[in-house]
Amino acid sequence: MSDTEKRASEALEALDVLGRVPRLGGVFGTLVNVMDRILATVAGLILVAIAGVVIVQILGRLILPSAPVWTEELSRYLFIMMIAVSAGLVMRRGKHISLELFHHRFGVRGACLYQLLMSVVLVGFAWLIVPYAWQYASIGAFQTSPALKVSMQWVFGATVVLFAMVILYGVIGAIEAVAGLLGLSRDNKATPGTGQR
């Protein structure tokens, strides 16, 4: 590894604040990891389906006199569902868009506090929005999509799934942050004079 690659790797690690928050083990950690894998698999399958639908649309434009109308609609709905399903995973992995001005200065305690704050804010926001998302989804029961003739309740319901995922993963993030803070407090009491980790 060259010196430039090494410095780039160190810079990326310094910016990965949420990677410093200890993950829970045991049954809870195992359940969360299984759920992560299931949601990542579902999101990956939806992405493959989007690619397949787009390929059908391209081939339809090249081979058929006119492209199938339903392909554009289906690819859009699949994309919406993929975002809804993977919203929690993006939160958990810290891959959402964020402005990182001072994160590199955080130690483990600071990262735990930051994750706790962000989790509480996101859960609070999503909790306020879920009733409106549900109301929005119920409006779709009276509409059908133009090409596929699918109830728009399923499409609009993606907003409920998205905010439910934000709440679920926000609670998981808060639990991990609190557990990390409590674990650090116990570690510091057990070994006085070591300072912050």
pLDDT along the chain (197 residues), means of 10: 75 60 85 94 96 92 85 94 93 74 76 89 96 93 89 93 95 92 66 39
Residue 38 resides in a domain: yes
Question: Considering the domain boundaries, does residue 107 fall inside one?
Answer: yes
Residue 108 has a pLDDT of: 82
CA distance 24 to 21: 9
Task: Please report the pLDDT score of residue 194 as a whole number.
Answer: 39
Distance CA 187, CA 197 (A): 9
Within-domain flag for 126: yes
Cβ neighbours of residue 68 closer than 8 Å, sequence gap 6 or more = 56, 57, 60
Per the DSSP assignment, residues forming a β-bridge with 14 are none
| The pLDDT value given to residue 82 | 96
The contacts of residue 86 (CB under 8 Å, 6+ apart) are 39, 40, 43
- The separation between CA 128 and the C-alpha centre of its own chain, rounded to angstroms, equals 19
Q: What is the pLDDT of residue 196?
A: 37
Report d(CA 173, CA 89) in Å as an integer: 11
Classify residue 122: in a domain, yes or no.
yes
Question: Residue 7: inside a domain, yes or no?
Answer: yes
In a domain, 156, yes or no: yes
84 within some domain: yes
**What is the domain count for the chain?**
1
Handedness of CA 189, 191, 196, 197 (dihedral sign): negative
Would the pTM count as exceeding 0.85? Answer: no
Enclosing domain of residue 45 = 3-190
56 Cβ contact list (under 8 Å, min separation 6): 68, 71
| Ordered alpha helix ranges (H), the chain | 3-15, 26-63, 70-93, 108-139, 152-190
Cα 53 off chain centre by: 24
Tell me whether residue 80 is in a domain: yes
| CA-based R_g, the chain, Å | 22
Q: Give the closest residue to 132 by CA, choosing from 161, 160, 168, 151.
A: 160
**pLDDT value of position 162:** 95
